[in-house]
Structures are given as structure tokens and as C-alpha cells.
Amino acid sequence: MGDKPVWEQIGSSFIQHYYQLFDNDRTQLDTIYIDASCLTWEGQQFQGKAAIAEKLSSLPFQKIQHSITAQDHQPKPDSCIISMVVGQLKADEDPIMRFHQMFLLKNISDAWVCTNDMFRLALHNFG
Amino acid sequence: MGDKPIWEQIGSSFIQHYYQLFDNDRTQLGAIYIDASCLTWEGQQFQGKAAIVEKLSSLPFQKIQHSITAQDHQPTPDSCISMVVGQLKADEDPIMGFHQMFLLKNINDAWVCTNDMFRLALHNFG
């Protein structure tokens, strides 16, 4: 049971930490980004820890809950880790929506930070 | 109009090429992977061009059509990352949502895919 590849362990720990922070106090998310980080949020680009933290803190909902349907992790040759998440979320009293998110993680000074983050709601409807 | 950042141009060209190959003759997808490529397909890992091509060629449908709802691209110091949200229809099956991510690297002047992750959007509401 402890046989998961290390990149899966790191990726899944990060994922758990990220959504826990997001759902409980997303103002604390700045700790996982650095000045070189990029976020693409529903097609809009944000560059750097401050801009990213501001965007996430200012999202227009009070309550948010993420539920992960599936997560995948892969290593990159330069010791980065890529994680992809497919899930559902509920903001305030809005209907549950599906989302897709990708993180590129890098180890800097012994801490795993997110250098690239892309988020999309799955807003296509059937047909 | 020609002001798209270079990584968006590279990413969107790759995306278009990938799904065109996939929908028309996926046995030709080998050209975009290298021996160091990893594919995670619905949670299963495949390592290297040969294993990846075998997996994609042996997927159990005759006809497939992808439709892209949204694509996003970002640069990294040594690569481009692309994320796609879309829908697909295989044979006479119902249309399904999918999510895919590609990490692209320039090797000898060609953009190849070193990391690929695919998931169907199989959760239902609630």
C-alpha cells in the first residue's frame, strides 16, 4: 500500500492541501505560489504570487467546496511533477459544476510550490 | 490578431494537429511522442512511444470525433503546457466530456509531447 511512486505521493498531498486551503481559507493560498508562477483561470492569465492570490481571494463566493473525481500525476525529467484533477465544486447555493485543473509543481528550497496552474469549469453541455 | 503569445500558437497548433490525427488515423500519433514520453489514460500509465501508440491504436472504437470546448496554454522555462476541455463521440455512443493535458518540448526543432494525461468526465451531477 506504500508502493505509490513518489511523484504520486507528492502530487496527491499537494492536491489535498490545495483544496483544503481553497475551501477553508483561500487567502492562504499564496504560500503555494512564487513570483514566477502563472495561473490561467477560466482563460484569464495571472502572473506572480500577488496577482494570483488577489484573483483567488476576490472570487465572488462565500462558501466553496471541491470534490475530486479523479487525479493523475506524472514526473517530468527536471524533477517537476504534473498533476491533473477532474472534479466537481459547489459555490454558495449555486448548482454543482464540474471543473478541470492542472498544476505543475517544483521543489524549491525543499518545499513544493506551484509554478503553473490552469483551471476551467466544464461548461459544455451535452450535444 | 497575430499577437498571440508564442506558446499559445505552439500549443493550439499542436492541439489541432493531435486531434486531427486522432480522429482520422490514430496509428499515426507515434510521430508526436518520444521514448521518454508518458501517457496516463483513464488512470493507466504507458511509458514510451511504442507503448503509447499501441494503447491508442487499440482503443475499442472505429470512429471517433473530438470537439474542443476550451484550451489553455502556458509556458514553462523549457516547455509548453496545454490543457483541453472538450467532448467526444465514439461510434454510436453518447457524447461524453473529456479532459486532457499535454506537456510539449522542442526537440531538434520539432514539438513533441513528453507528458499526456487523459480523463473522461465521468462524474455525474450530485
A contacts of B95 (beta carbons < 8 Å): 126-127
Does residue B40 form part of some domain?
yes
- Residue B69 domain flag: yes
The Cα of B125 is separated from the nearest Cα of chain A by a number of Å equal to 7
Residue A127 lies in a domain: no
State the Cα–Cα distance between residues A76 and A48, nearest whole angstrom.
Answer: 22
Residues of A in contact with B44 (CB under 8 A): none
How large is the ipTM?
0.90
What is the three-class DSSP state of A101?
strand
Q: Which domain holds residue A58?
A: 6-121
A-B C-beta contacts closer than 8 Å: 90
d(CA B83, CA B100): 6
Structural domain count, chain B: 1
Question: CA of A24 to nearest chain B CA: how many angstroms apart?
Answer: 21
pLDDT in tens, A71-121: 999 999 788 999 999 999 999 999 999 999 999 999 999 999 999 999 999
**Is A97 within the bounds of a domain?**
yes
Residue at B19 is within a domain? yes
CB burial of A72-89 (b: ≥16 within 10 Å; e: otherwise) equals: bbbbbeeebbbbbbbbbb
Question: What are A55-79's pLDDT values in tens digits?
Answer: 999 999 999 999 999 999 999 978 8
Single pTM value for the model:
0.92
Is the residue at A53 inside a domain? yes
| CATH number for A64 | 3.10.450.50
- Tell whether B1 is covered by a domain: no
Nearest C-alpha of chain A: how many angstroms from B85?
7
Question: Residue A2: pLDDT band by 50, 70, 90 thresholds?
Answer: low
Q: Do B94 and A70 touch (CB under 8 A)?
A: no
What are the start-end ranges of the E strands in chain B? Answer: 33-41, 44-47, 64-76, 79-90, 96-107, 110-120
A95: which chain B residues are within 8 Å (Cβ-Cβ)? 125
Return the C-alpha cell found at A69: 473525481
CB of A125 less than 8 A from some CB of B: no
| Within-domain flag for A98 | yes
Question: Counting runs of H as helices and runs of E as strands, what totals does chain A give?
Answer: 2, 6
Amino acid at A5: P
